[in-house]
Amino acid sequence: MAQIDTLPPLREVIAAHGLNAKKSLGQNFLLDLNLTSRIARSAGNLEDCTVLEIGPGPGGLTRALLAAGAKKVVAIEKDSRCLPALSEISDHYPGRLDVVEGDALDLDPVELTGGGKVRIAANLPYNVGTQLLLNWITTPEWPPFWSSLTLMFQKEVGERITAKQGSKAYGRLGVLAGWRCKGGILFDISPKAFIPPPKVTSAVVHLEPNPNPLPCDLKALEKVTAAAFGQRRKMLRASLKSLSPEAEDLITQSGLKPTARAEEIDVPGFVELANVFQAAQG
């Protein structure tokens, strides 16, 4: 196994601090430093930026990010049991690691990272991963505060984020991510690489902001995709009726067939639908 620093191996860190994994916190620790280094490298050049990491746990990915040269890592961890292990990493890399104890859903990432270039890298806790991603890709200001996201999800979630029109995994998440971001799945990680092993394969997704997404109101796009995919087996003329009694006409005005189903509509199609429905509502 790779030696990336002179800190103790992660297995020893976990044993020394009694970090038996808690399911309620989505804790599956990645011990293979070859893999954590691969994720850190996938995040791009870290030397000129602050890396925001969610859920450092015992610090495997944190160490890889610092060893890869991250100017600064700001890591948010909910489990206070991990703090002593993380403070040993801080001591090893003076001035380069800030650990914030708390729930990433409640904290303001812009305030914590303090401006400048920010990359986000994390092995996300599965129970809040999708919500965190949605928060980052639906920020009102665009381009957003981050310049890349390198995130590990359950593979099925990674497939939904990167899904294209016509595939089973395509839905609201794929439309929002496809509208505002570019990128894809970089590689899979087997359950065997984790302690304890999760039930499913994981995938590392890398996304960068699309600098010029097609003009569209975010709320309108969210409304149309929620209605269309909420009843994905129905034709658009039925699934979008809840948004307007004129749904059929508005779909035709958008250049789409009222008999089409949500999964047949590509991202520009949804953008057009959102714009036409929003204009009709004045």
Q: With CB under 6 A, what is the number of residues at the site for ligand SAM?
A: 23
Query: Applying CB under 6 A, does 28 fall inside the site for ligand SAM?
Result: yes
Beta carbons within 10 angstroms of residue 280's beta carbon: 14
Contact between 154 and ligand SAM by CB under 6 A: the answer reads no
Nearer to ligand SAM, 44 or 57 (CB): 57
The whole-angstrom separation of Cα 10 and Cα 113 is 26
Interacting span for ligand SAM (CB under 6 A) from 25-33, 86-94, 250-258, 265-273: 25-33
Biggest alpha carbon–alpha carbon distance for the chain: 66
Q: Tell whether residue 79 is a contact of ligand SAM (CB under 6 A).
A: yes
Within 36-75, which residues bind ligand SAM (CB under 6 A)? 54-57, 60-61
Q: Provide, rounded to whole angstroms, the least separation between the CB of residue 211 and ligand SAM.
A: 29
- Give yes or no for residue 183 binding ligand SAM (CB under 6 A): no
User: Mask of contacts with ligand SAM, 81-110, x by CB under 6 A?
Assistant: -x--------------------xxx-----
Sign of CA dihedral 212, 216, 217, 218: negative
Minimum CB–partner distance for residue 35 and ligand SAM (Å): 9
> By C-beta, is 106 or 141 nearer to ligand SAM?
106
- Which amino acid is located at 37 in the chain? S
Category of 31 on φ-ψ map: left (φ > 0), alpha (ψ -120 to 50) or beta: alpha
Residues that bind ligand SAM (CB under 6 A): 25-30, 54-57, 60-61, 76-79, 82, 103-105, 123, 125, 128
